[in-house]
A and B are shown apart, each in its own frame.
Chain A
Amino acid sequence: MSIRLNPDPLPDLLASIQQSEQNMNTASQQLSSGQSVNELSDDPAAAASVVLNHSQTSQDDQYLQNINTLQPGFQIADSSLNDVVTALTQALSLGTEGANGTLNDADRQAIAVQVQGIQSQLVSLANATSQGAYLFSGTAVATQPFTLNSTTGAVTYNGNTGVNSVQISNGNSIQTNVPGSQLFLNPNGNVFTAIQDLNTALQNNSNIGAAVTEIQNALNTVTTQRVFYGNALNQINSTEDFLNQDTVNLSTQENSLIGANLADAATNLAQAQTDEQATLNAAGRILSLPNLLTYLPPP
């Protein structure tokens, strides 16, 4: 004799209806959110990894903003130093011209006036700003770094020797400035001493050759230092590329952690709907089955 079964089919039917409804709900939630993990409990490890993933994406975004903040300063500094090189080259040729023994005093005075013009141009270039901040005053960005004493022609440095560095990707910082003292008052080639010495030499017609050498040294020094800003621009450009790629990688990683396979979800939904219909159909048939009493003849 077979084991006596639960004569009431309803609990089992309800359980399987509930199950197929839950499957439908899961599939449609995945389709609408595009995610296979919609609650932490769906995949706790993936949810925890997504915390780190989202944070890194957000940090990368901030690094890109940092790069945008730094870029104009680098560009202005680079172009200012380019102008400095041009001005010094001009001073060099003026000095060479002034050293020519056929010139008279008036000619040399005229050249000296041009050199003075270059001097004030250089001071102005050394006081370059970006978004209101002085670029060559070290970290004393609110202080005008160079002041020219118009009487003596002496140039004073008011900035400091501080340098900043800013993180532009994980574990990767970039130095953001070279102090003006290092650029313009370098012992290997002091721009303002050289230009002032050239001016004096032209006016006095003495030691012009030595002054020209000073200018040459200053020019060499600035040209060397200027490489820093060119490198910085290259570095932020390549980092920007890296960050954009990293953002794409992170998005791919996010998708593999919690993204839904939409084709699978759509198939699952269709499957769940079919299951649901089959279950309901079966339930309808089972529940409407006649029982023995139906077949008894009426009394």
Chain B
Amino acid sequence: MGSLSASLNIAAQSLDAEQTAIQTTTNNIANVNTPGYSREVANFEDNPPVEIGNLTLGSGVDISQVTSLRDAVLDLRVNQETQQQGALNSLVSSGQQIQSLFNETSGAGLQAPLTAFFNSLSALSANPSDPSTRQAVLTAAQNLASAFNQTSNNLTQIQQGEDLSVTQSVSQINTLTSQLAAVNVQVVAATGAGQNSGPLVDQQQQLLNQLSNLIDVSSINAGNGSLTLTTSSGAPLVVGGQSFQLTTQANPTTGFQDVYSQGTDITTAITGGELAGEIQTRDQQIPSILSSLDSLASTLATAVNTQNAQGYDLNGNAGGNIFVPPPAGGVGAAASLAVAITDPSLIAASGGPAPGSAGDNTNANALLAIQNQTIDNGQTPLNAYSNLVFQIGNQVSTAQSNQNSGSLVLQQLQNLQAGVSGVDINEESANLIRFQSAYTASAQISGIIDTLLQTTIDMVPVTA
């Protein structure tokens, strides 16, 4: 047989439970715009029934726990995609700076000074003894050297900018891993004490997502709620409450900052996030372009010098160097390309030493012919340059199209993630109405039971 006092108890428990549910709903609404927040639900559970005689009676409701709604698989996919996007964003951004140096469609780049140099030799061929035509050759050579110097220097500046970004990214990564280690400790404590760790997990995931934008990070749940983070190559970042700081150290050869983890150089093992993009631009893309420019500058300068030495200058002497000989191996040739002479009569246009053959243009024609010789890795100077332009444009174009498709995937994943975890005001409002009605009902039931109890009490006659 049931009892009024049991009913009153149930009504009181119900008031408690609805209050908790209302608080959860209110908290959800309050955090509707909080980044990384996952909506929480109060899990109602009916209390274990009581058996009274041959009756089994319900014993009210309780909130068993408040849980945050997350989908671990979606979280993982979002982080993986974020790592790729981070690297691509960095590559596209630096690629745009690089390609603007070679923007032949707007007249920038090396084609104009390169062609102008050969054109000046063509003009020399048509008028080999004219002083102003000779001076024009030196001017064109000077312009070509300056163009190589400037392009090379601008590339080096972009490279130095990327180097600075590497150091900044490492510092951000260290800040985030320290924060995550601290949150790990809190999660373990909360889990151990049986508390709701949802909000702390939100923080963990938010930090993990920020880290994913910077570096290829993989995470393993240690079982107690603590996240163990490593790079994809296995360098430790966070273990429990301890974060392992990355350090940078200047590379003795390049002078750029290498990334170290626990004394090991992991620079080339970083495959995701902005850090990977910065390292790729700094250590691969720009050096490759610089090396192509060096090759072009040094083979061209060497070919021109060699040919000039085959001819005779305006004074009938054998020709010397027009360009300062490039460094052996060509490294740094573009940055250091310079014209060796200031006297235009020293250009060896003539093919014969005979006095009075100032008007001979045999060697001027031979110098001009370098334009169509495959001097640079089997290519003419212009074709080599044109190929370089294609490669630079193609790298940016590929990165951009990957960035575009990746960002659509990421957006889709984030939508799915928010579909699970995002707060919907309408849904919360509907819940609120539900909890409010239940609360009101329970309160009224309490009043009714009070009346019933009064009725019961009134059954006993009052003795004066």
Q: Which residues of A contact B (CB under 8 A)?
A: 3-8, 11-12, 15, 33, 35, 37-45, 47-52, 54-55, 58-59, 61-63, 65-66, 69-70, 131, 133, 137-143, 158-160, 162, 164-167, 173, 176, 258, 291-293, 296
Contacts and interface: CB of A to CB of B under 8 A. Distances in A.
Contacts, number: 192
Given A48-B393, A167-B365, 5 more contacts: A7-B425, A11-B415, A12-B411, A40-B389, A69-B126
A55 B122 CA distance: 14
Given A44-B397, A55-B382, A292-B429, A11 B414 contact: yes
B115 interface: yes
A40 B99 contact: yes
15 contacts: A4-B419, A6-B414, A7-B418, A41-B99, A44-B389, A44-B394, A58-B116, A58-B119, A66-B125, A69-B127, A142-B129, A162-B360, A167-B368, A291-B429, A293-B429
B105 A39 contact: yes
B105 A258 contact: yes
Nearest to A52: B386
A160 B99 contact: no
Interface in B373-411: 382-383, 385-387, 389-394, 396-397, 400, 411
Interface of B: 95-96, 99-100, 102-106, 109, 111-112, 114-116, 118-119, 122-123, 125-130, 350, 352, 354, 356-362, 365, 368, 382-383, 385-387, 389-394, 396-397, 400, 411, 414-416, 418-420, 422-427, 429-430, 433
A50 B393 CA distance: 13
A235 B414 CA distance: 71
Contact of A292 (B100, B123, B390, B425): B425
B126 A70 contact: yes
B100 A139 contact: no
Prevailing SS type, chain B contact patch: helix
Given A52-B382, A66-B122, A142-B129, A45 B390 contact: yes
Nearest to A292: B429
Contacts of B362: 164
Contact of A39 (B103, B119, B128, B360): B103
A7 B99 CA distance: 41
Given A15-B411, A41-B99, A143 B356 contact: yes
Given A12-B415, A133-B129, A40 B360 contact: no
A162 B104 contact: no
B437 to A, nearest CB: 12
Nearest to B122: A62
Contacts of A63: 122
Given A7-B418, A66-B122, A142-B358, A291 B389 contact: no
Contacts of A44: 389-394, 397
A138 B119 CA distance: 24
A179 B419 CA distance: 91
Task: Rank and list the top 3 A-B pairs by shortest CB-CB distance, nearest first.
Answer: A40-B393, A44-B393, A141-B359
Contacts of B99: 39-41
Contact of A59 (B119, B357, B397): B119
A83 B102 CA distance: 56
A8 B106 CA distance: 43
Contacts of A138: 357, 359
Nearest to B401: A41
A51 B111 contact: yes
Given A15-B411, A141-B359, A296 B122 contact: no
A59 B397 CA distance: 30
A17 to B, nearest CB: 13
A6 B105 contact: no
A138 B422 CA distance: 90
A15 B122 CA distance: 54
B103 to A, nearest CB: 6
